[in-house]
Amino acid sequence: MKFTLDWLKDYTDIEGLTAAEISDQLTMLGLEVDSVKPLYEDLADLKTATVLETAPHPNADKLTCCKVAVGSETLDIVCGAPNVRAGLCTVVALPGTTLPGNFKIKKSKVRGEVSCGMLCSERELGLSDSHTGIMELPEGTDHGQSFIEAMGLKDTMIEVDLTPNRPDCASVIGIAREVAGFTRKELNLPVSTAEVTKVSQTFSVDVEDSNLCPRYAAKLITDITIGESPDWLKRRLNAVGLRPINNVVDITNYVMMEYGQPLHAFDYDNLAGGKIIVRCPRPDEKTFTTLDEVERPIDKDTLLICDGEKPVAVAGVMGGLNSEVSDNTVNVLLESACFNPVSVRKTSRKLGLSTDASYRFERGVDPGGTCNAMIRAVELFCEICGGKTDDEGVDIYLGRKPLNSQTLRVSRTADILGVDLNKETIRDHLESIGIRCKDKDADTLWVNPPTFRVDIEREADLVEEVARLYGYNNIPASLPQVDLSYPQQDSSRIKRCETASFLASVGFSEAINYSFTAEKHQDQLLLSEDDPRRNCVRLLNPLTEEQAVMRTFLLPGLLENVKRNLNFQQYDLKLFEIGVGFTAQGKDKQPQETMLLAGVMTGNRHKGQVTLHYKEEKTDIYDVKGTVEAIFTNLRLLGVGYDKVEFIIPVSENIEPFSVSDQFLAVMAGDKCIGSLGKCSDQVLKSFGIKQDVYYFELNYDAICDLQKVEKSFTSLPVYPAVKRDLALLLPVNIKAGEILEAVASFRDKLIESYEVFDVYQGKPIQEGMKSIAVSITYRSATKTLTDKNVEKSHNKIVKMLTDKFGGSFRE
Amino acid sequence: MVGYDPDKFSGFAFGLGIERIAMLKYGINDIRLYYENDMRFLSQF
CA distance A511 to B37: 5
> Count of CB atoms within 10 A of residue A484's CB?
5
CB neighbours of residue A107 within 10 Å: 13
A500 shares contact with chain B (CB less than 8 Å): no
Return d(Cα A267, Cα A715) in angstroms, integer.
Answer: 99
Per-residue confidence (pLDDT) for residue A29, from 0 to 100: 94
Longest dimension (CA), chain B: 52
Q: How far is Cα A650 from Cα A218, in angstroms, rounded to an integer?
A: 80
Of B6, B35, B40, Cβ closest to residue A512: B35
H/E segment holding residue A319:
strand A318-319
Q: How far is A477 from chain B (nearest CA, A)?
A: 14
| Contact across the interface for A511 and B42, Cβ inside 8 Å | yes
Is the CB of A460 inside 8 Å of chain B's CB atoms?
A: yes
Q: From B44, which residue of chain A is nearest by alpha-carbon distance?
A: A509
CA of residue A319 relative to chain centroid, distance = 30
Q: Cis peptide leading into A281, omega within 30 of 0?
A: no
ipTM over 0.85: no
CB-CB contact of A779 with A785 (8 Å): no
Strand pairing category for A73-79 and A516-517 = unpaired
Q: What angle do CA A30, A35, A39 make, to 5 degrees?
A: 130
State the best of A462, A512, A607 to mutate against chain B, taking most chain B CBs within 10 Å. A512
Chain A nearest CA to B37, separation (Å):
5
Cross-chain residue pair B37–A511, CB shorter than 8 Å: yes
Instruction: Compute the CA torsion angle A78, A84, A88, A91 (nearest 10 deg).
Output: -60
The reported pLDDT for the residue numbered A609 is 61
Strand ranges inside A584-683, DSSP E: 592-602, 638-639, 642-643, 646-648, 659-669, 672-680
pLDDT computed for residue A160 by the predictor: 97
Q: What is the CA radius of gyration of chain B?
A: 18
pLDDT at B1 over 70: no
Q: B19 to chain A nearest CA, in Å?
A: 12
The H or E element spanning position A561 is helix A555-567
From CA A68, how far away is CA A73, in angstroms rounded? 8
Tell me the pLDDT tens digit for each residue of B16-33.
889 999 999 999 999 999
| Shortest alpha-carbon distance between residue B29 and chain A (Å) | 18
For A786-808, give the DSSP string: PPHHHHHHHHHHHHHHHHHHH-S
Question: Treating both helix axes as pointing N-terminal to C-terminal, what angle do A247-259 and A356-363 enclose, rounded to 10 degrees?
Answer: 30
Alpha helical stretches, state H, A352-438: 356-363, 370-385, 410-417, 423-432
Does residue B40 belong to the interface with chain A, where contact is any CB pair within 8 Å?
Answer: yes
The answer to whether B44 contacts chain A (CB < 8 Å) is no
Q: What is the mean pLDDT of each run of 10 residues along chain A (812 residues)?
A: 95 94 95 92 89 90 91 91 92 90 88 90 82 88 88 89 94 96 92 88 93 96 93 90 93 97 96 94 94 93 94 96 94 96 95 94 95 96 93 92 93 91 94 93 94 93 95 88 86 93 96 96 95 94 92 97 96 96 92 97 82 79 96 89 85 93 94 96 97 97 92 84 90 85 85 89 85 91 87 88 82 66
Angle between the N-to-C axes of helices A788-806 and A737-747, in degrees from 0 to 180, rounded to the nearest 10: 130
The reply to whether A223 touches chain B by the CB within 8 Å rule is: no
Q: pLDDT tens digits for A314-336?
A: 999 999 999 999 999 999 999 99
Secondary structure element (H or E) that encloses residue A583, with its range: strand A573-583
* Continuous segment of H or E residues that includes residue A28: helix A19-28
Residue type, A732: P
- Contact between A407 and A447 under an 8 Å Cβ cutoff? The reply is yes
Task: Please write the tens of the pLDDT for every residue from A570-625.
Answer: 999 999 999 999 999 988 899 999 999 999 999 998 876 666 677 778 999 999 99
Q: In the prediction, which pLDDT does A141 show? A: 85
CA distance A770 to A762: 7
| Distinct helix (H) and strand (E) counts, chain A | 21, 41
Note whether A564 contacts B: Cβ–Cβ < 8 A.
yes
Burial class (CB in 10 A: 0-12, 13-18, 19+), A686: exposed
Cβ contacts of B4 on chain A, cutoff 8 Å: none
Contact A565 B34 (CB under 8 A): no
Name the residue facing A564 among B34, B36, B43 (closest C-beta).
B36
Name the H helices within A640-781.
682-688, 701-706, 737-747
Helices (H), A320-386: 341-351, 356-363, 370-385
- Whether the CB of A512 is below 8 Å from some CB of chain B: the reply is yes
